[in-house]
């Protein structure tokens, strides 16, 4: 199955972790895509030393959501069966990749989403309090309105059935992208299951950047994106992830 799987890693100024994460990921995946989102540190230099990688380079920082949209588009055009997304700050353990693929092999899900809180309990010793609180609030809203039954709205460690990605139209470039993703996945009737992963925060002081570092501003922004996406059901068709208005993404 490995030859049909692409692992995508969004990167923005991750020179501290990048080489080690790539080394670990390559133990479990033969096809790796790095989206360098305008890094200004040593990340581009590290990537130039690597062999056998697929690399997309943004000339400037465009956002986490845009990096994932690029990964979606790449996986569709290259006709992979599964796309696994994993962060580059060592919050996600590459050794879990086989577990995601095993869950995909059961053929019961279109999105396999990592969950750091499978029981819904607080874990204040591992997660910054404001992030856990906002995650819980947003997760509750999604479950109430969309009937998802998930426990972690923001875990970036996921596996996507690539054929299902053709039904998504990701246009939110920043950290609020998951709100758009969940609304569209529910609307499309995609099958969603969760897979427990460990809670790891090596640097709890990492910033979102700008006004999003204020938790209340961040929560308000997430809710604004969520409500905009819910109301978009009756709006004119938007470009798909490949840029073609009103059409399915090509294989």
Establish if 250 belongs to a structural domain. no
Q: In whole angstroms, what is the distance from residue 21 CA to residue 147 CA?
A: 35
What is the per-residue pLDDT for 123? Answer: 52
Over residues 137-166, mean pLDDT? 97
Whether 247 is covered by a domain: the verdict is no
Instruction: Give bridge partners of residue 9 from the DSSP assignment.
Output: 34
Tens digit of each residue's pLDDT (9 = 90 or more) over 186-227: 999 999 999 999 987 666 566 666 777 788 999 999 999 999
CATH number of the domain enclosing 154:
3.90.550.10
Q: What is the pLDDT of residues 30-59, one digit of tens each?
A: 999 999 999 999 999 999 999 999 999 999
Q: Within 10 A of 217 (CB to CB), how many other CB atoms are there?
A: 13
User: Residue 143: its pLDDT value, please?
Assistant: 97
Residue 45 domain flag: yes
- Residues contacting 21, CB < 8 A, separation 6+: 9, 14, 86, 88, 90, 94
> Is position 239 within any domain?
no
pLDDT tens track for 51-92? 999 999 999 999 999 999 999 999 999 999 999 999 998 889
Q: Among residues 10, 9, 13, which one has the least CA distance to residue 203?
A: 13
pLDDT at 119: 82
Q: Which residue has the tokens 């989206």?
A: 35
Name which residue leads in pLDDT, 232 or 138: 138
Per-residue pLDDT of 12-27, as tens digits, reads 999 999 999 999 999 9
Nearest to 221 by CA among 208, 229, 213, 212: 212
Contact 122, 180 (CB under 8 A): no
In a domain, 194, yes or no: yes
Question: Domain residues for 56?
Answer: 2-234
- Would you say residue 119 lies in a domain? yes
Q: Quote the DSSP letter at residue 210.
A: G
Q: Could you tell me whether strands 82-85 and 111-115 are parallel, antiparallel, or unpaired per DSSP bridges?
A: unpaired
Is the residue at 243 inside a domain?
no
pLDDT digits (tens, 9 = 90+) for 90-113: 889 999 999 999 999 999 999 999
pTM for this structure? 0.88
Rounded to an integer, the average pLDDT of 1-9 is 86
Q: Would 246 be classed as within a structural domain?
A: no
Report the C-alpha gap between 235 and 215 in whole angstroms: 30
Q: How many domains are contained in the chain?
A: 1
């Amino acid at each position: 199955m490995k030859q049909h799987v692409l692992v995508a890693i969004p990167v923005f100024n991750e020179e501290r972790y990048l080489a080690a994460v790539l080394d670990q990921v390559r133990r479990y995946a033969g096809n790796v895509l790095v989206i360098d989102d305008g890094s200004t540190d040593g990340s581009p230099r590290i990537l130039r030393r690597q062999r056998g990688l697929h690399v997309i380079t943004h000339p400037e920082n465009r956002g986490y959501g845009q990096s994932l949209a690029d990964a979606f588009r790449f996986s569709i055009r290259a006709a992979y069966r599964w796309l696994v997304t994993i962060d580059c700050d060592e919050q996600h353990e590459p050794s879990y990749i086989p577990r995601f693929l095993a869950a995909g092999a059961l053929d019961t899900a279109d999105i396999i989403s990592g969950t750091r809180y499978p029981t819904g309990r607080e874990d204040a010793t591992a997660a910054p309090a404001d992030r856990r609180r906002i995650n819980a609030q947003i997760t509750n809203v999604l479950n109430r309105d969309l009937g998802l039954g998930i426990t972690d709205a923001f875990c970036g460690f996921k596996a996507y059935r690539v054929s299902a990605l053709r039904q998504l139209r990701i246009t939110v470039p920043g950290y609020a992208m998951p709100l758009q993703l969940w609304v569209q996945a529910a609307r499309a009737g995609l099958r969603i299951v969760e897979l427990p992963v460990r809670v790891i925060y090596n640097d709890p002081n990492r910033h979102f950047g700008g006004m999003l570092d204020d938790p209340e501003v961040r929560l308000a922004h997430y809710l604004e994106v969520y409500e905009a996406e819910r109301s978009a059901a009756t709006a004119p068709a938007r470009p798909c992830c490949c840029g073609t208005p009103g059409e399915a993404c090509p294989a």
